Structure 1
Amino acid sequence: MVLVAHGSRDPRAAEATRALARAVAVVRPGAPVVASWLDHTEPGPTAVLRELAKAGHARAVLVPLLLTAAYHRRVDIPAAVDAARAAGATIAVRVTDVLGPTGATVDAGLLAGLRRRLVEAGLDQAGVDRADGRAGRGGTGPEAFDGLVLAAAGTRDARARASVGRVAAALSDALRVPTRVSYASAAPPGVDAAVAHLRSRGARRVAVSAYFLAPGLFHDAVAAGARTAGAVAVSAPLTDVPELADLVRRRVDEAAG
C-alpha cells in the first residue's frame, strides 16, 4: 500500500501522514504501508513504486490521501504512476478513490471521524437541546454548539467544492445544526465570514469542524480566524483517527477486490 499525501513545508503534516500509515498497518496487516508525498517531502510516489518493483513486489495499491477529487487526483497522481512505468517499474498499480465523497454518498466513517474530533475539542452537540441552550453551566463539562462551519482547504474545482458541500450537509443532518462551508484558500467564504453568517441567522455558539487531514498553515489560519470571529472551538485535523485508518483500509480492499 502506498499512501500519497499532498505534502507541505510544515513538518507536522509529514508526521501526520506517517502516523496514519502506522494506523493503517495495524488495521490491515500483512502488506507494507509506505507513505509518500507529491511535494515538499520525500519520497514521492514515483520513487516508492520503483523501489517496490525493485524489491520484487508485483502489485501495489495507491491511496490518494485527499478529501476531494480535484487536480492532484486527476493529474498529479496518474502522472506519478506513469513516470514510474516510464522508468521501468514493472509493478501493477491500482489507484483508489480519494477519502472524500466521489458520488452522492458521504462515507459514514469519514463523518464519524469528524464527529470524534469535535468531541475531542470539548464540544457536545446534544447540549443544545437543553433548556438554556448550552452545556457546562457551572464552567465544566463539554460546550454545546448550535451552528457549525466545515472548514476545508479550498479549490477552484467546482465539483470538488460540491463534494465538500455534501459533507457539510451530511454533518448538518447528523448533528441537527445549521452548517456552513468555508475555505482557507482559492474560494470564498473564509471561516470568519461563515461564522458571521451563522450568527446572523441566530446561532449563538458556532463551532468549526476542520476538514483537513493534517495540521499546517491552513489549519493554523482557520483556527486563528475562527477564534477572532468568535467561534467557541475548532477541531483538530483528522490525522490518524481510527475511522480514517479504517476508511483507507476499505478503499484498499475495494481497489484490490
Structure 2
Amino acid sequence: MAAPALIALAHGSRDPRSAQTITALVTEVRAMRPDLRIEPAFLELSKPSFHTVVDRLVKAGYDEIVVVPLLLTEAYHAKVDVPEAIAEAAARHATTGQGLQIRATRILGLESCFLEVLDLRMREALKDARVRELDALVLAAAGSTDPLANQAVARLARVWGTHHKLPVTAAFASSSPPATGEAVRAFRAEGRRHIAVASLFLAPGFLPDRAKELALEAGAVAVSEPLGAHEEIARVVLARYAVGAVELVPV
C-alpha cells in the first residue's frame, strides 16, 4: 500500500519568483523523502492549481492525500481558503465513487528553527551591503486583519531580539501598522542609525518587495531576502506530513 501523497500548498503569486521558490522548497523535501509522491500546488495566481494536482494524483491511483499549507500565520488563507479548497476537492471526488481521503495539516507556522534561516538570510544581506554594525532590527511580515496572526509575529520578533540582544519591532506589509518604513523611522527617531530588516516571508513577491522598498527609503542599512528553500523548512513540512498521514489511518 502506497504512503499518502503530499501536496505542499502555497497561496500563489503573479511574481514567477514565488512559484520558483516553492518548487525549490519541494525539491528539498523530495530529497529527504524520495520514497514519497510530493507535489507543489497553489491556491491561486500560480500553476499548477490545487485541484489540478489533486486530479493528477487521483488519476495516478492515490486515494489518500496529505496537504501541508505553506503558510506562516493562522490568518484568512489558513482559516478560510485552505479548508474550502480541501472540502471542494473531497466533495468533487466523492461523486466519482473513488473514496478520496484528503486532509490538511497544521500550517508551517512560525517555528523557532526558522530563526536560523532568518539569521542566514540576514547575514547574506549584511555581507552584500558591507554592514558590520547594527543597533536595531525590524522583522517584516505580510500582516493580517487577524490580530492573533500579528501577535504571533510580534512574539517571534521578541524572541529574535532577545537572542541578538538588540531592540526589535515587528512590521507589516499590509493590513496592519506599522509598515516597515514607519518602523525604521521610529528607530531612527531614537537615534539609531544601523537598522536592518528581516523578511519573514516564505517566497518573493509584491509584499516582500514593497516592504523592502519602504525600509530602504526610510534608511534601513540592509534588508534580507525571504526565507526561501531551506532544509529546516523542508523538515517542518515533513513533520506536518507525518502527523497528517497518521491521522488518515483508521482507528
TM-score (structure 1 length as normaliser): 0.86
* 2:137 matched residue in structure 1: 148
Aligned residue type for 1:96: T
| Runs of 4+ that moved beyond 4 A | none
Matched residues in 2 for 1:210 and 1:69: separation? 18
1:44 to 32, 40, 49: 49
Shift of 1:185: 1.1
Provide the secondary structure at the position in 2 that maps to 1:180. Answer: strand
Contact kept in structure 2, 1:109 and 1:247, CA below 8 Å: no
* 1:163 matched residue in structure 2: 152
Shift of 1:44: 2.1
Matched residues in 1 for 2:130 and 2:148: separation? 40
* 2:78 matched residue in structure 1: 73
Q: How does 1:5-154 map to 2 (within 5 A)?
A: 5-88=10-93, 90-101=99-110, 107-122=111-126, 143-154=132-143
Shift of 1:116: 1.1
1:246 to 230, 235, 243: 235
Aligned residue type for 2:103: R
Shift of 1:141: 6.2
Unaligned runs of 5+ residues in structure 1 are 102-106, 124-139
Is residue 231 from structure 1 mapped to residue 220 from structure 2 by the alignment?
Answer: yes
Aligned residue type for 2:102: V
Residue by residue, what CA displacement relative to the aligned partner does 1:28-85 show, whole Å, maximum 9, x if unpaired? Answer: 2211211111111122223322321221113221111111111111111111111111
* 2:3 matched residue in structure 1: none
Residue by residue, what CA displacement relative to the aligned partner does 1:86-122 show, whole Å, maximum 9, x if unpaired? Answer: 1125322221211224xxxxx2321111111111212
Q: How many residues align?
A: 237
Matched residues in 2 for 1:18 and 1:51: separation? 17
TM-score (structure 2 length as normaliser): 0.88
Provide the secondary structure at the position in 1 that maps to 2:185. Answer: helix
Q: How does 1:201-212 map to 2 (within 5 A)?
A: 201-212=190-201
Provide the secondary structure at the position in 1 that maps to 2:113. Answer: helix
Shift of 1:142: 5.3
Residue by residue, what CA displacement relative to the aligned partner does 1:159-200 show, whole Å, maximum 9, x if unpaired? Answer: 111111111111111111111111111111111110111223
Matched residues in 2 for 1:237 and 1:173: separation? 21
Seen in structure 2, the aligned counterparts of structure 1 residues 119 and 46 have a Cα distance that, compared at 3 Å, is: same
Contact kept in structure 2, 1:192 and 1:229, CA below 8 Å: yes
Aligned residue type for 2:145: R
Matched residues in 2 for 1:99 and 1:199: separation? 33
Matched residues in 1 for 2:106 and 2:8: separation? 12
Contact kept in structure 2, 1:46 and 1:81, CA below 8 Å: no
2:163 to 169, 174, 190: 174
Contact kept in structure 2, 1:212 and 1:219, CA below 8 Å: yes
Matched residues in 2 for 1:174 and 1:255: separation? 32
Matched residues in 2 for 1:254 and 1:112: separation? 24
Seen in structure 2, the aligned counterparts of structure 1 residues 254 and 119 have a Cα distance that, compared at 3 Å, is: farther
Shift of 1:143: 2.0
Unaligned runs of 5+ residues in structure 2 are 1-5, 247-251
Instruction: Report the RMSD for the aligned CA atoms in angstroms.
Output: 1.9
